[in-house]
């Protein structure tokens, strides 16, 4: 990682914006950061840490606010860092959480921490993330170290310079693992341990399965497990085979005993079944004899059922005729009631007489006069004729109604037309005044409105000035960057030119040797022409060749072209910026934007006035049209009123003539339809009364016929009267029930006599009664004996089968467990070897520590090259695999450090070194660590290293040696920043960053 530029604002002791150009400071390879105590030297390093990690090291990281107390309260604290790591140029801009004054009211409000990460690609900065969590992960992944480790190997804070040298093996392990990216080996250790544990659990489950099967086999066989079976699972195989074979032999020996017991049980069951059969036949014969006696005693009841059925069959055809005669009598009674009611209602309409009795229905009276029904029909016909005559006049009634409705409608239309005429007259009266007002307003608007083209042109000009003002800021930034590029290009071109001149001078100085190298025996010298060359010149092996000069010339030409391009770009941007400022008319972006808004407002007002003029002119035209329509409507209403008055007079005269005719025809009734309705009601009543008299006469005749037919059928069936018929009558369901009762009696009697006639039943009745209780007891004893024998054999056979199955299962589980046990044995050995706990790992060094120890050896070797120079070859670091005293951790081995003192020949613990000795030893170790990390493909390339304090502990000679070592770091392109207030260093290190403090805050100043 190499730093390029650091910018701080309102951060720590810095009140304003301060900038550090690390490219210029680190050009010499070594630079000094100095200033009075408390000025903020360490704060520069804190800013670097904060930009990268969002925090600062040591106790300063516990501070609640990084905002400068010298800065204005509304100035945002901010740090921006440009750096290159792994070939990627990045810029990180961070702001810590801070409190600013509220924009409205008093008090402060908290602003959250912000970050922006960008990468410089293809000439532009492209954003990567704005989220603090993503930025932190991105930086940690890219650098490979966290804040604490970064401070140990890159940025050694004040008071913690020797921590890595004196750190316990566990802390040293964490730092080295992060720096060299060797966490994969720790993951391998963990994976091997987890893999071994997983295989151990799998092997344990397999062994448990084998033991569970063996315990189940022992439980089934009722035999104990062999001793020490957990240590030798294969000893279960012969043990299981012996148990299975013995149990199978016992099961075969039990078969004859089971067969004999089953035969005895079958004989006892047969004897019991025969005894029960004899008892059942004896019971059935006794029951049959008793039932036969009962049925014989009911013979008279059986004969009564036959007599009941015969009488019911004779009454079946007679009963419906009797019911029909009764229905006819009911109908006659209903007809007489209806005739009496209707003749009573129609009594006054045709002088209707009282109804005759049912015994004398009929047509004409003895005197030969018309019957009652005829008189009613004659009265009905008279009313029908009158109705027909009146209906011819109903059309006149409807016409009268229509005429009166039309007259009312005409009256309403006349009234409405008069109202419309009055409203129209009132509206027409105000229209001229409104038109005059609108015309005056239109003239005033036209007088105030100017040409729109001038306002549009003014707006476009303001917009051009706004765009020019907006471009000015961007062009100014581009110009500043172009100036820096031009300065860099000029410096690079000058450096390339100086290098070319130096190389050309060296070549000229060695030109004699170059010409001598081209001389050949007998060939003339290109300078003197001699063919003899007694003492040709010899040059240095490292003298430049013509090819070197050509390459230097090409580099110088390329640098000159880049300088020309940079100068051309600067000139172009300068001209563009001047043109933009001239076009902007001296306005900044805000003023130009306000001018655009003013021009836009003026144009909007002009457009609004034009729209108002159009609307006013349109309204005047509408008023003119409305006035013309009102006058036309007034003429139409006058014509309509005359027509309506004429029509109303004609319709009223016609209605009066029709009303006179209808009054003469309606008589005493309210109107003609009422008279027709009354006559229709009376005609209907007369018709209904005549019909009722006809139905009464027909019902009397039907009753006489039905009674005669019922009497004839009763006498033929032999019944003395109707009551006898009703007594003998039975429904079909009742007759069916009597028949089924008789049939059941006959069937039961036949079945009982069949049982009594059965020879087998007679034989059982004659035989002695068997003792079924004794037979049952004998059967139960035989079944118990057979059951015991069969259960015993079944248990033996089932046990033999179970043991055979369990034996096969045991063999299978043993076979299945062997690969798991073998895999666990191998994995456990590897895991313990990698963890350093295996006897095969004689040094007890874990795999990860072993890998880191190899890196640490390289670090120690690189550190000793510099420590020898800085210590006058007195001290040398030695890597050891021994653990530190009191270190009980498994990871402590392999990462130990010792110091060899050449003056005493003794090894020393780094903790015993003095302050100055500790400084040079830890500095050498840190520089060695940076060298090895940059060479590792997966490690962090440390291109910029800071050393904070510690030089005050060195004497003059040691300080000179240390500075010589640091100065040689330029050969690898590394820059080393020394943070110190030692005054002697200012004369030794020309490139310096000076930190100035004042009551208003600290400032930064670059020197050299």
- Quote the CA–CA distance of 485 and 281 in Å, as a whole number: 133
Model confidence at 235, in pLDDT bands (50, 70, 90)?
confident
Strands 992-996 and 30-34: parallel
The secondary structure of 377-393, three-state, reads HHHHHHHHHHHHHHHCC
Q: For residue 712, which of 155, 166, 264, 317 has the smallest C-alpha distance?
A: 317
From residue 963, alpha-carbon distances to 157, 866, 925, 947, 974 in Å are 19, 11, 15, 12, 14
Q: Does 284 have pLDDT greater than 90?
A: no
Mean pLDDT in residue range 223-240: 74
Range from 541-545, 688-692, 887-891 carrying the lowest mean pLDDT = 887-891
Model confidence at 360, in pLDDT bands (50, 70, 90)?
very low
Q: What is the pLDDT of residue 1003?
A: 92
Question: How crowded is the C-beta side of 293, counted as CA atoms within 13 Å?
Answer: 5
Residue whose tokens read 């836009």: 600
Q: Domain 2-144 is in which class?
A: alpha beta
- Quote the CA–CA distance of 209 and 228 in Å, as a whole number: 17
Mean pLDDT in residue range 539-546: 70
pLDDT digits (tens, 9 = 90+) for 843-886: 777 877 788 888 888 888 888 887 888 788 888 998 887 654 44
Task: Using only the alpha carbons of the chain, give its radius of gyration.
Answer: 67
Q: For residue 814, which of 240, 301, 99, 191 has the smallest C-alpha distance?
A: 240
Q: Does 62 have pLDDT greater than 60?
A: no
Residue whose tokens read 């890595």: 164
Q: What percent of the chain stands above pLDDT 90?
A: 6
Give one word for 945, left, alpha or beta, with left for phi > 0 and alpha for psi -120 to 50.
Answer: beta
The residues that bridge with 108 in the sheet, in sequence order, are: 101
pTM, full prediction: 0.40
The residues that bridge with 100 in the sheet, in sequence order, are: 109
Alpha helices in 767-886 (DSSP H): 772-835, 847-870
Alpha helices in 144-254 (DSSP H): 147-153, 163-166, 169-180, 183-221, 236-253
Q: Identify which has the larger pLDDT, 808 or 538.
A: 808
Mean pLDDT in residue range 42-58: 88
| Of the ranges 333-337, 574-578, 938-942, 994-998, the best mean pLDDT one | 994-998
Q: Which two tokens stand for residue 544?
A: 């430049």
Contact 243, 223 (CB under 8 A): yes
Q: What is the mean pLDDT of the chain?
A: 79
Residue whose tokens read 């009763």: 714
Q: Which two tokens stand for residue 912?
A: 């015993």
Q: What is the pLDDT of residue 519?
A: 63
Mean pLDDT in residue range 388-398: 75
Q: What is the pLDDT of residue 83?
A: 93
Q: What is the pLDDT of residue 354?
A: 38
Q: What is the pLDDT of residue 5?
A: 94
Mean pLDDT in residue range 678-684: 81
Q: Where do the structural domains in the chain lie, given as residue ranges?
A: 2-144
Model confidence at 581, in pLDDT bands (50, 70, 90)?
confident
């Amino acid at each position: 990682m190499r730093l390029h530029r650091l910018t701080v604002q309102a951060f720590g002791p810095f009140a304003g914006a301060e900038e550090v150009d690390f490219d210029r400071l680190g050009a010499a390879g070594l630079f000094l950061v100095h200033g009075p105590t408390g000025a903020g030297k360490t704060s520069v390093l804190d800013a670097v840490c904060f930009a990268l990690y969002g925090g600062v090291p040591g106790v300063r990281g516990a501070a609640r606010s990084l905002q400068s107390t010298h800065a204005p309260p509304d100035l945002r604290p901010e740090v921006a860092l440009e750096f290159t790591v792994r070939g990627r140029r990045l810029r990180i801009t961070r702001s810590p959480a801070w409190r600013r004054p509220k924009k409205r009211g008093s008090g402060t409000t908290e602003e959250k921490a912000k970050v922006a990460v960008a990468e410089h690609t293809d000439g532009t900065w492209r954003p990567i993330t704005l989220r603090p969590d993503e930025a932190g992960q991105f930086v940690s992944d890219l650098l490979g170290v966290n804040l604490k480790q970064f401070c140990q190997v890159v940025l050694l804070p004040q008071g913690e310079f020797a921590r890595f040298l004196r750190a316990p093996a566990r802390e040293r392990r964490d730092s080295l693992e992060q720096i060299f990216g060797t966490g994969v080996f720790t993951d391998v250790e963990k994976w091997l341990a987890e893999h071994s544990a997983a295989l151990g659990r799998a092997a344990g489950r397999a062994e448990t399965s084998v033991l569970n099967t063996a315990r189940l086999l022992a439980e089934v066989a009722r035999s104990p497990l062999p001793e020490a079976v957990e240590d030798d699972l294969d000893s279960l195989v012969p043990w299981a085979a012996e148990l299975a074979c013995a149990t199978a032999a016992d099961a075969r020996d039990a078969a004859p005993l089971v067969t004999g017991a089953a035969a005895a049980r079958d004989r006892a069951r047969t004897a019991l079944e025969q005894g029960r059969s004899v008892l059942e036949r004896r019971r059935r014969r006794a029951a049959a004899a008793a039932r036969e006696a009962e049925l014989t005693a009911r013979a008279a009841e059986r004969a009564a059922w036959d007599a009941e059925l015969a009488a019911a069959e004779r009454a079946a055809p007679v009963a419906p005729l009797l019911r029909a005669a009764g229905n006819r009598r009911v109908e006659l009674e209903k007809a007489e009631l209806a005739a009496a009611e209707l003749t009573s209602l129609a009594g006054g309409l045709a002088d209707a007489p009282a109804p005759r009795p049912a015994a004398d229905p009929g047509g004409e009276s003895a005197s030969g006069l018309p019957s009652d029904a005829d008189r009613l029909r004659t009265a009905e016909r008279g009313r029908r004729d009158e109705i027909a005559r009146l209906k011819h006049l109903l059309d006149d009634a409807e016409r009268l109604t229509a005429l009166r409705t039309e007259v009312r409608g005409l009256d309403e239309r006349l009234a409405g037309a008069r109202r419309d005429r009055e409203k129209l007259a009132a509206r027409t009266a105000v229209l001229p005044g409104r038109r005059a007002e609108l015309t005056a307003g239109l003239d005033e608007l036209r007088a105030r409105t100017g040409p729109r083209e001038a306002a549009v042109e003014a707006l476009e000009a303001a917009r051009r000035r706004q765009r020019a003002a907006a471009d000015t800021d961007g062009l100014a930034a581009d110009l500043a960057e172009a100036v820096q590029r031009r300065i860099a290009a000029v410096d690079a071109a000058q450096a390339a030119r100086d290098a070319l001149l130096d190389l050309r001078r060296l070549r000229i100085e060695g030109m004699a040797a170059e010409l001598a190298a081209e001389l050949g025996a007998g060939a003339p010298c290109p300078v003197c022409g001699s063919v003899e060359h007694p003492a040709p010149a010899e040059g240095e092996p490292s003298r430049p060749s013509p090819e070197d000069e050509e390459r230097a010339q090409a580099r110088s030409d390329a640098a000159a072209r880049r300088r020309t391009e940079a100068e051309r770009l600067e000139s172009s941007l300068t001209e563009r910026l001047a043109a933009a400022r001239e076009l902007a008319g001296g306005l900044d972006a805000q003023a130009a934007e306000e001018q655009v808004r003013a021009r836009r407002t003026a144009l909007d007002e002009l457009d609004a006035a034009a729209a108002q003029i159009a609307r006013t002119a349109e309204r005047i035209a509408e008023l003119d049209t409305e006035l013309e329509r009102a006058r036309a409507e007034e003429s139409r209403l006058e014509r309509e009123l005359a027509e309506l008055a004429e029509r109303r007079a004609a319709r009223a005269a016609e209605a009066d003539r029709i009303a006179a005719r209808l009054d003469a025809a309606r008589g005493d009734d309210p109107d003609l339809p009422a008279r027709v309705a009354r006559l229709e009601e009376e005609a209907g009543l007369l018709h209904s009364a005549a019909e009722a008299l006809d139905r009464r006469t027909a019902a009397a005749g039907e009753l006489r016929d039905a009674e005669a037919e019922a009497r004839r059928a009763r006498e033929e069936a032999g019944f003395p009267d109707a009551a006898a018929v009703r007594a003998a009558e039975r429904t079909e369901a009742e007759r069916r029930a009597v028949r089924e009762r008789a049939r059941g009696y006959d069937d039961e009697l036949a079945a009982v006599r069949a049982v009594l006639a059965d020879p087998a039943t007679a034989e059982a009745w004659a035989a002695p009664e068997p003792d079924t209780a004794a037979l049952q007891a004998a059967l139960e004893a035989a079944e118990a004996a057979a059951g015991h024998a069969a259960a015993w054999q079944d248990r033996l056979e089932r046990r033999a089968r179970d043991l055979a199955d369990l034996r096969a299962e045991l063999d299978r589980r043993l076979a299945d467990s062997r690969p798991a046990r073998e895999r666990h044995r191998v994995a456990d050995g590897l895991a313990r070897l990698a963890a350093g706990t295996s006897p095969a790992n004689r040094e007890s060094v874990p795999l990860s520590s072993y890998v880191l120890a190899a890196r640490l050896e390289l670090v120690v070797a690189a550190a000793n090259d510099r420590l020898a120079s800085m210590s006058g070859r007195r001290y040398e670091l030695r890597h050891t695999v021994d653990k530190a005293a009191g270190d009980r951790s498994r990871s402590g081995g392999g990462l130990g450090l010792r110091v060899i003192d050449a003056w005493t020949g003794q090894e020393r613990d780094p903790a015993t070194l003095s302050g100055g000795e500790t400084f040079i030893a830890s500095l050498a170790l840190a520089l060695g660590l940076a060298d090895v990390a940059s060479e590792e493909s997966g490690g962090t390339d440390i291109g910029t290293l800071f050393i904070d304090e510690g030089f005050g502990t060195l004497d003059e000679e040691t300080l000179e040696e240390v500075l010589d070592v640091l100065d040689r770091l330029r050969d690898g392109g590394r820059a080393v920043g020394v943070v110190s207030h030692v005054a002697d260093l200012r004369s030794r290190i020309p490139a310096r960053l000076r930190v100035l403090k004042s009551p208003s805050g600290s400032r930064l100043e670059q020197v050299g």
